[in-house]
Amino acid sequence: MKGLSDKVVVVTGAARGIGRATVAAFAREGATVVATDILDGELADLVAQLNREGGKVTGLRQDVTDAAGWPRLLAEVVARHGRVDVLVNNAGIAIIGNIEEQTLEDWQRTSRVNVESVFLGTQAAIAVMKASGGAIVNVASIAGNVGEPHLAAYNASKGAVKLLTINAALHCARAGYPVRVNSVHPGYTDTPLVSNAIGTMPEEEGGKFTADILAHIPIGRLAQPEEIAEPILFLASDSASYMTGSALIVDGGYTAA
């Protein structure tokens, strides 16, 4: 991918799923990667594995909902590496619940992790990048484009990420900042986030939900995390230099059907 080998990249929610695959993909391209998560053991394993393979990866513990922690994190990255070129706001959660049954607690928790963290990260990254340039990639979801009755809070949160991304992109462009902001919208992907969410449903209901998902994917299968990581790399790379405010859908045809 064009221009990634000299980038300093921060990826949140890096220990599992799409985040883990994204860190590995950036590392293979030669980027310097700072991977963050609250899952210390899994994060340490990832960092050790990639560095054994020749990567330049550092792991840092980060609670993405901690507002004061964001400027500190990016300041530490700048102190270590001189700059931040790319931020991938990937950390997220999914809690099953329809509009009648979703609790306020789960709604608020989903919003904190999926929306507020993206706001905080994007705001902090713009402050660091606006002089020298950079790219922000926010991991949304097709749940930000189409409704799913079982995912009231998740739908709302990912729709917010889509529009926040557009807002930030237009702000940066009109302010003359050399900062691009785009979102990627994965379809259903074979990750712990998806399997754990479905696992909270009664067995019969979860089985039907899974069958319905597969029936609506023209390609006929879930995505692999690596298939989402590559489009994230594209949006972060110089190959996407004329893209900002875009919502890139990667869903096996789900939303086209």
Q: Active-site residue numbers? A: 154
Alpha-carbon span 64 to 70, nearest angstrom: 7
Ramachandran region, residue 190 (left: φ > 0; alpha: ψ -120 to 50; beta: rest): beta
User: Residue 245 is which amino acid?
Assistant: G
CA distance between the termini of the chain: 30
Alpha-carbon span 193 to 199, nearest angstrom: 10
Is 29 in a helix, a strand, or coil? coil
Ramachandran region, residue 155 (left: φ > 0; alpha: ψ -120 to 50; beta: rest): alpha
